[in-house]
Amino acid sequence: MNAAPARQVLAVKYGYRVTSRAESYLNYHLYGEPDADLGIDYYFWVIRDGAEVVLVDTGFAPEVGDRKRRAHYTTPAEVLPVLGIGVDDVTAIVISHAHWDHTGNLRQFPRAQLVMSEAEYAFWTSPLAGRAHFAAHSEPDEIALLARARKEDRLTLFTGTCTPAPGIELTEVGGHTPGQLIASVATPDGGPGSTSTVVLASDALHFYEEVERDWPFAILADLPAMYRAYDTLAQLAKQPGTRLVAGHDPLVRTRFARHAVTGGPAEVEVTDLTGPPTRP
């Protein structure tokens, strides 16, 4: 007899770009290190619980990626069936924050429940969101889609913490954006009754170096909140059985188990964050 399939958390790399360290870290000249190329992955995340699927973010829309000259290989509606997931299996979508590379394909899921922080929604639907340094990172029609979802009663807004499904806890940390959230996902550990936690930091942590070297990312709304978010993530990472997953770092693909997606575009890489670690 087959046991019920265990909860699985996947990172789907759907895009890539080469940037530089000086462009990625705030006031990089402070550190006295030479500039260098820095690869940036674009991911969305899949929490699969048997037939029930929750997405964390949806990546960017292909046409927006083209406009911004980002390489991209797939969208959720294209790749989920390759993973054996129907688009209608996605019951809920967590929106970690409302930047363009996270909200771009919400329209592929017109019936899914959406959840995000109240502060994030309030900010991006306020006049301040139109100022150049914020507007550069969002797409008005994607924000309008959130407002529409709210009218349709499909959008849950929260302050502080929220549990959209058993074993999934969202925590608002701010910093990168006014209401950036992280998602802690409890997963079976293999041993009887034991669990581990996958912490999907999304853009509270683009690159591991932000926490490991205390180097803030260059795009931000609130520097003290960003530092506090790094402290929160560093504390979580110290807990036994916790896997900290950065939002844009190619290291995710070497720190955790990677498997090929057969039948999808060759550049798409899926990393099983609940699989055996590839690095102690």
Q: Are 72 and 257 in contact (CB under 8 A)?
A: no
Q: Which is nearer to Zn ion, 120 or 203 (CB)?
A: 203
Q: Binding-site residue total for Zn ion (CB under 5 A)?
A: 2
Strand pairing of 113-117 and 257-260? unpaired
Q: Which of the stretches 145-153, 159-167, 195-203, 219-227 binds Zn ion when contact is defined by CB under 5 A? A: 195-203
Q: Which is nearer to Zn ion, 7 or 229 (CB)?
A: 229
Instruction: Confirm or reject binding of residue 101 to Zn ion (CB under 5 A).
Output: yes
Q: Which of the stretches 82-90, 97-105, 137-145, 270-278 binds Zn ion when contact is defined by CB under 5 A? A: 97-105
**Adjacent-strand bridge partners of 47:** 9, 54
Q: Which of the stretches 73-81, 94-102, 129-137, 250-258 binds Zn ion when contact is defined by CB under 5 A? A: 94-102
Q: Which of the stretches 27-35, 53-61, 128-136, 196-204 binds Zn ion when contact is defined by CB under 5 A? A: 196-204
- From residue 198 to residue 237, what is the string marking binding to Zn ion with x (rule CB under 5 A)? -----x----------------------------------
Phi, psi angle pair for 122, to nearest 5°: -60, -40
Q: How far is the CB of 253 from Zn ion (least distance, A)?
A: 16
Q: Which is nearer to Zn ion, 169 or 249 (CB)?
A: 249
CA distance 51 to 48: 7
Q: Are 194 and 14 in contact (CB under 8 A)?
A: no
Q: Are 160 and 172 in contact (CB under 8 A)?
A: yes
Q: Which is nearer to Zn ion, 101 or 209 (CB)?
A: 101
Rounded to 5°, the CA angle 249-76-13 comes to 20
Contacts of 146 (CB under 8 A, 6+ apart): 95, 98, 103, 106, 114, 116, 121, 124, 125, 155
Structural element, H or E, at residue 148: helix 140-151
Q: Which is nearer to Zn ion, 51 or 71 (CB)?
A: 71
Q: Which of the stretches 22-30, 98-106, 153-161, 250-258 binds Zn ion when contact is defined by CB under 5 A? A: 98-106
Q: How far is the CB of 142 from Zn ion (least distance, A)?
A: 13
> Which parts of this chain interact with Zn ion (CB under 5 A)?
101, 203
